[in-house]
Amino acid sequence: MNRSELLGIFCDEARTHLAAAVEELDGLEPDAAQDLGELFRRFHSVKGMAASLGMDDLRRSLHDAEEAVEQARRAHRGLTAREIETLISHCRHALTRLDRMEGFEGETTTDGILAQARGALPPVRVDADRLDRLLDLVMSLSVSQQRLEHLLGLPEDPAMLAIRDTLAEAVRGLRREILEIRLLPVRGLLPLLERALRDWAREQGVKVALRVEGESTRIDRTLLERLVDPLGQLLRNAVAHGIEAPAERLRAGKPERGQIELRIDAGKDRVRFVVRDDGQGIDAAAVAERAIEREILPPGTAEEMDDSRLLALLACPGMSGRGRADLLAGRGVGLAAVRAQVEKLGGRLQIDSRAGQGFAASFEIPTRVALVDVFLVRCGEHRFAVPVNTVRRVLDGGASPAVGDQPPVEDGGTLAERLGLAAPGSENPGAARLVIDREGGQVGLQVDQVAGRQELIVRSLGPPLDRQGPWSGAAVLPEGGLALVVDPQRLVDPTGPAA
């Protein structure tokens, strides 16, 4: 068996041991005496395999981890919170090293040695700010290329047509490559979130274990940075509002350690995050009562709302799932803040819960910044861009009855009316309607024309405009000028921010 085959076996075995070690460490109670024998054996096994393959830096790292566990065993004590955090860091560092070395082949020929030498060179690192500037330049180039193409039209000269098409393909390729470079795995967030979760659980006096699925999913680094707050707040809410005290869980027939799941599901251009716990859940009727008490919901309207719409009220400022405020979750601003942050990322927060059966919050966001697939619509003299992912379907004028499994579409008036650009009742019977999902059903918004569908570069409006109304940015049109990007869900959702 050659070195390449041995290395493949080592990577597979080491990943299994290290992933299991992370899970075991995450489930440990700080300072609580527990059997650490299995954890010690995992570190010892991977260290031995690394030593046999001459991987000294990995061997030293795992030796330090092994020694820390052995000292705790000899002292008949549990690992401290800091030791647990450090050991998890050792594991993640080792997993990263394994990702980099996979595919390496040991060689003794001159060509093989030279190839190894080239592979040993440090990777090229690009400053994040420089990468942002490069993206701005590429996007400006893309806008200029689209405008030039629009102005020139379709050239009659075959040579000019070939040059135009080559330029367009080159700009698209450059744009794709720059956006690809900016993608980072969600795994990079986990050490920070895991550490915060352990601190919150210790302060709250509960026991929790975090299970993560899909951590290798990659998204734009700017979006990744902006995910820290909403994901952190959802995990904090799970500890503060969801997971019961150990004794209470045992009385309810549950394991004393609560389970929190963070699942990341990657699609073609979007990624979905779900944070779910197995705690006490929330009663929709209690939410309605609290909303009426806080004058968020008019009396007598709760009976007309299903559970999903009532639970959506939890994201309104002033709401809380508990009867009292506490240090961790505040006065219900947690979910309201998450909702605002998710909407700025181009997503929509959804909540699902049953009393005694846990709580789940989910949202879906694009994996890349800047490029947005939109419908271009006209409302009188005004042009707007509506993200395709916010529209369920496009109908000819008029409200629509249920079709198959589709729910009936409620008449939501005109987009112009919702934006304050036209008086109520100014519908055009022959116009198109954009069908928008909302809690409990679908709403149709009338527009004078759906002029087409394009992939456009969208820029943030910046503060304070990015916090006002239903606007999610502005798009540069190929023929010049701008089109404001409308998030229609913020117009039709009664629990959303006002336009």
Domain ranges of the chain: 3-120, 128-181, 186-366, 371-492
> Model's pTM, two decimal places?
0.61
Q: What is the pLDDT of residue 471?
A: 83
Neighbours of 108 (CB within 10 A): 7
- Domain 186-366 identical in fold to domain 371-492: no
Cβ neighbours of residue 339 closer than 8 Å, sequence gap 6 or more: 315, 349
Q: Number of helices (H) and strands (E) in the chain: give both, helices first.
A: 15, 16
Q: What is the pLDDT of residue 123?
A: 56
What CATH code would you report for 3-120? 1.20.120.160
Q: What is the pLDDT of residue 361?
A: 92
Q: What is the pLDDT of residue 234?
A: 92
Q: What is the pLDDT of residue 194?
A: 86
CA distances from 450 to 234, 386, 447, 484 (A): 37, 10, 7, 15
Q: What is the 3-state secondary structure (H, E, C) of 399-464?
A: CCCCCCCCCCEEEEEEHHHHCCCCCCCCCCCCCEEEEEEECCEEEEEEECEEEEEEEEEEECCCCC
CATH architecture of 371-492: Roll (2.30)
CATH fold of 186-366 reads Heat Shock Protein 90 (3.30.565)
Structure token pair of residue 369: 């910044």
Consecutive 10-residue averages of pLDDT for the chain (499 residues): 65 85 84 84 84 79 89 88 87 80 48 48 65 83 84 86 89 85 84 85 90 88 85 90 91 92 84 92 83 82 80 76 43 72 82 88 80 86 88 72 63 86 64 80 87 81 67 79 84 56
C-alpha closest to that of 215 among 191, 197, 240? 191
